[in-house]
Amino acid sequence: MALKDEKSAGVLVKEKSINKDQSVSTVKNYINGKWVLSIGTETVDVINPANKKIIGRCPLGNSQDVDNAVKAAKEAFKTWREVPTIDRVQILFRLKSLLEKNLEDLAKLCTEENGKILIESRGDVRRGIQMIETACGMPTLIMGKSFEDVASGIDCHAVRRPLGVFGAITPFNFPPMVPFWFWPFAVACGNTFILKPSERVPLTQSRVFELVEEAGMPKGVLNLVNGSKEVVNTLCKHPDIKGISFVGSTPVAKHVYETACSHGKRVQALGGAKNFMVVLPDAVMEQAAKTVFESCTGCAGQRCLAGSVILGVGDASHIIEKEIVKLANQAKVGNGLDPSSNIGPLISEDARKRVKGLIQSAIDEGAKVLVDGREGIENLDGYFLKPTVISEVKQNMKIAKEEIFGPVICLGKVESFDEAIKWLNSSEYGNTASLFTTNGAAARKFSYEVEPSMIGINIGVPAPMAFFSFGGSKASFFGDIKAHGQASIDFYTDTKVTIQRWVKNSSIW
């Protein structure tokens, strides 16, 4: 409970906890160009998962907070949409250089609140900056089309126009990056925006918004509302919001998609995943094993693009198993700020319990644990789990079907390439799939026949770059228009077509 408010320069209000001998800060909202306390009075603790220390508090905002942000954004839209695109992106150019300057601090903050190791946090910030760089190209990206003499003496042209206020709701696993998947594109197109980050990792975005302010974003154009369900549901139903971008687990993605669609909004909702990696006998095994291992255990397995089930075809299964066991035994879990750590903690005790439960379910269903990451973590302070390798995984096992979101590698054996493709296509999810091979024809067959939308050939984390579209299929994506690149211009604009005929008035010339 707060004892005192210390006036701070911007984002955070220092408080003293009654029962805790430490100072923590409560994150503020950023609405209409001002840092304001949330109207919602409840808070949740922000916990460093590497040592369980409380490092901040996140307010659980309410519908009034959202309404205030929407009013500000709606008002700001009237003038922002008239600012030339070339001028709008100057703010993004300034923000890019501020982000570069502050990259190390942002990465450290990300590691503290999320747990991932520093090198991963740096990548997280860097990929966010790439979104800004891509959105800086908006003067070219937003151009329309024209067609002279579409019929005799008639011309036609189409322009892309912003729609109004958009919102985004983001998950805990990429605190700096995921919000940049959306708002830079929306705002560069001339829309105004409200971001709701995950209540588990609100600190990095608070710092980012300080930089947004420093970059000179006009008031009301970009707003930050912290919270959880109430904020999400209000955003999805608010009559003055035109569209919602969401990233998170599949059940919430589906809920957001259904709620916001039924309230007349455009929605793109990116959900959970279960990613398969197929290894053919002709792959370069040592490199494939390293890539597979890094995919499954990077960010402690808490990535929507993380590999989960590895299908070794024929002899490949034994070779890859041996290599992966070796790598799992060498990996060091630890605090992400310690440069000797390879893998950080999971986000919470609940998350760790769930992953441990899934490992147990695999054993109960007949799989074999080759490396048990539940062992040897007793003396570690945080929510750590060592890499776990499970073999003899079968298609009908729970661990082969559910998203794990932990550093667990499931090894399945198949007799043929076709069997591997059939198995991976039977998954309810469709985010990514990878193939390891030196055979071009096999690579083509794989890209052609598998159902997930993002494919890696000898790549473990097939994340398309900012200039390509991003998003899965099946239960990994709800909506029509994906994120990033040109797709985001489609999502954040309407196309207005004018067809015209100018008739000569012969009395003038």
Reported as type and span, the H/E element at residue 128 is helix 118-135
Angstrom CA distances, 186 to 324, 467, 481, stand at: 42, 15, 14
- Whether the CA torsion 79, 83, 87, 89 is positive or negative: it is positive
| Residue at shortest CB range from ligand NAD | 248
CB nearer ligand NAD, residue 111 or residue 245: 245
Q: Does 228 bind ligand NAD (CB under 6 A)?
A: yes
> How many chain residues bind ligand NAD (CB under 6 A)?
26
Minimum CB–partner distance for residue 427 and ligand NAD (Å): 13
Minimum CB–partner distance for residue 142 and ligand NAD (Å): 24
Residue range at the interface with ligand NAD (CB under 6 A); choices 109-117, 166-174, 308-316, 323-331: 166-174
Contacting residue, 29, 192, 431, 493, with ligand NAD by CB under 6 A: 431
Q: Point out the catalytic residue in the list 110, 299, 304, 410.
A: 304
Asked if 49 and 114 touch (Cβ cutoff 8 Å), the reply is yes
CB nearer ligand NAD, residue 121 or residue 317: 121
Contacts of 369 (CB under 8 A, 6+ apart): 359, 362, 363, 388, 389, 390
Minimum CB–partner distance for residue 302 and ligand NAD (Å): 7
Residue range at the interface with ligand NAD (CB under 6 A); choices 136-144, 270-278, 387-395, 499-507: 270-278
Minimum CB–partner distance for residue 237 and ligand NAD (Å): 12
Contacting residue, 270, 283, 292, 324, with ligand NAD by CB under 6 A: 270
Q: Does 247 bind ligand NAD (CB under 6 A)?
A: yes
Phi, psi (rounded to 5 degrees) for 337: -80, -15
Q: Does 288 bind ligand NAD (CB under 6 A)?
A: no
Residue range at the interface with ligand NAD (CB under 6 A); choices 117-125, 139-147, 205-213, 244-252: 244-252
Asked if 279 and 311 touch (Cβ cutoff 8 Å), the reply is yes
CB nearer ligand NAD, residue 72 or residue 347: 347
Q: How many CB atoms within 10 Å of residue 284?
A: 13
Minimum CB–partner distance for residue 472 and ligand NAD (Å): 6
Q: Does 395 bind ligand NAD (CB under 6 A)?
A: no
Determine the Cα–Cα distance for residues 107 and 374; give it in Å rounded to an integer: 28
Q: Does 414 bind ligand NAD (CB under 6 A)?
A: no
- Site track 464-483 with ligand NAD (rule: CB under 6 A), x = hit: --------x---x-------
Q: Does 113 bind ligand NAD (CB under 6 A)?
A: no
Helix (H, G, I), strand (E, B) or coil at 212: helix
Determine the Cα–Cα distance for residues 311 and 317; give it in Å rounded to an integer: 7
- Please choose, from the candidates 158, 173, 498, the residue with its C-alpha nearest in 3D space to the C-alpha of residue 346: 173
State which amino acid sits at residue 70: V
Determine the Cα–Cα distance for residues 405 and 355; give it in Å rounded to an integer: 7
Reported as type and span, the H/E element at residue 350 is helix 349-364
Span 184-203, contacts to ligand NAD by CB under 6 A: 196, 198-199
Catalytic status, residue 304: yes
CA angle 7, 12, 18 (to 5 degrees): 80
Residue range at the interface with ligand NAD (CB under 6 A); choices 144-152, 243-251, 278-286, 325-333: 243-251
Angstrom CA distances, 381 to 37, 48, 145, 386, stand at: 32, 10, 59, 13
Q: Does 271 bind ligand NAD (CB under 6 A)?
A: yes
Minimum CB–partner distance for residue 249 and ligand NAD (Å): 3
Determine the Cα–Cα distance for residues 382 and 44; give it in Å rounded to an integer: 18
Asked if 300 and 334 touch (Cβ cutoff 8 Å), the reply is no
Residue range at the interface with ligand NAD (CB under 6 A); choices 62-70, 163-171, 332-340, 388-396: 163-171
Asked if 305 and 463 touch (Cβ cutoff 8 Å), the reply is yes
Q: Which two tokens stand for residue 385?
A: 């789990």
CB nearer ligand NAD, residue 285 or residue 309: 309
- Please choose, from the candidates 247, 121, 123, 139, the residue with its C-alpha nearest in 3D space to the C-alpha of residue 183: 247
Q: Does 169 bind ligand NAD (CB under 6 A)?
A: yes
Helix (H, G, I), strand (E, B) or coil at 417: helix
CB nearer ligand NAD, residue 274 or residue 413: 274
CB nearer ligand NAD, residue 348 or residue 395: 348
Asked if 28 and 38 touch (Cβ cutoff 8 Å), the reply is yes
Contact positions toward ligand NAD, by CB under 6 A?
169-173, 196, 198-199, 228-229, 232, 247-249, 252, 255, 270-273, 304, 403, 405, 431, 472, 476
Residues identified as active-site: 304
